[in-house]
Structure 1
Amino acid sequence: MNKTEFIAAIATHSNSTKAEAARFVDSFISIVTETLQGGGEIRLVGFGSFKVKDVAARDARNPQTGKIIKVPATKRPRFSAGKELKEAANQHKKWVLAGVT
């Protein structure tokens, strides 16, 4: 599902217009981005958490030349799924294992 399809699904699910849903999605993305830029974390119980993880500097090898290069330390955004989201994602697997398709 891409952003346009996601917006249409939210509009349908919430019985609102696509413009309202687009404003909601854009606001959500902006809030998550701003919070992570400020070093914060967003926890949505049952859904998951958005946070920034520090990644240490390391050495890597250029596959073309074989030369070792230094990769600087950086920060990366991370999403950790919550319990209910994990269970929902694995719901289909339970049915398949039970022999129901």
Structure 2
Amino acid sequence: MTKAEIVTKVAAAVGLTKIETEAVINGFIVAINDSLKEGNEIEIRGLGSFRIIERQPRLARNPKTGGKVQLPKRRVPQFRPSKDLRKAVNVKK
């Protein structure tokens, strides 16, 4: 599902225009990005939580050449789904 499809679905569900809904969704994304950049954890009940984890530097291989490459320490976002979301996607049809 693309962002445009989400905007259409949410707009129909809440009765806003697509432009208003897109502005809300864009604001939501900006708020999450800004909070994660600051190192905060975000918990949305019923959906899950976002946090930043630090990956340590490591030695990897370039699959094309087979040569060794040193990967630097980096921060990556991580999403952990809530119990409700995990149950919802595992319901038998």
TM-score range (shorter-chain normalised) is: over 0.9
Secondary structure of the residue that 1:49 maps to in structure 2?
strand
Cα deviation 1:56-99 (Å, max 9, x = unaligned): 110011222222110001000111100111111111xx23xxxx
Using the aligned pairs only, state the percent identity: 34
Other-structure match for 1:99: none
> Partner amino acid for 2:8?
A
Once the 2 structures are TM-superposed, how far is the Cα of residue 47 of structure 1 from its aligned partner?
1.2
TM-score normalised to the size of structure 1?
A: 0.87
CA distance in 2, matches of 1:24, 1:13: 14
Asked if 1:16 is matched to 2:16, the reply is yes
Cα deviation 1:19-59 (Å, max 9, x = unaligned): 11001100000000000000001101221001111111100
Task: Give runs of ≥4 in structure 1 deviating > 6 Å.
Answer: none
CA distance in 1, matches of 2:10, 2:59: 44
Which of the two has higher C-alpha Rg? 1
Q: Superposed, which structure 2 residues align to 1:61-72 within 5 Å?
A: 61-72=61-72
Other-structure match for 1:54: 54
CA distance in 2, matches of 1:65, 1:47: 41
TM-score normalised to the size of structure 2?
A: 0.94
> Partner amino acid for 2:23?
R
Other-structure match for 1:44: 44
Secondary structure of the residue that 1:63 maps to in structure 2?
coil
> Partner amino acid for 1:59?
L
Matched length: 93
**Structure 1: gaps (5+ residues):** 96-101
Alpha-carbon RMSD? 1.0
CA distance in 1, matches of 2:84, 2:76: 24
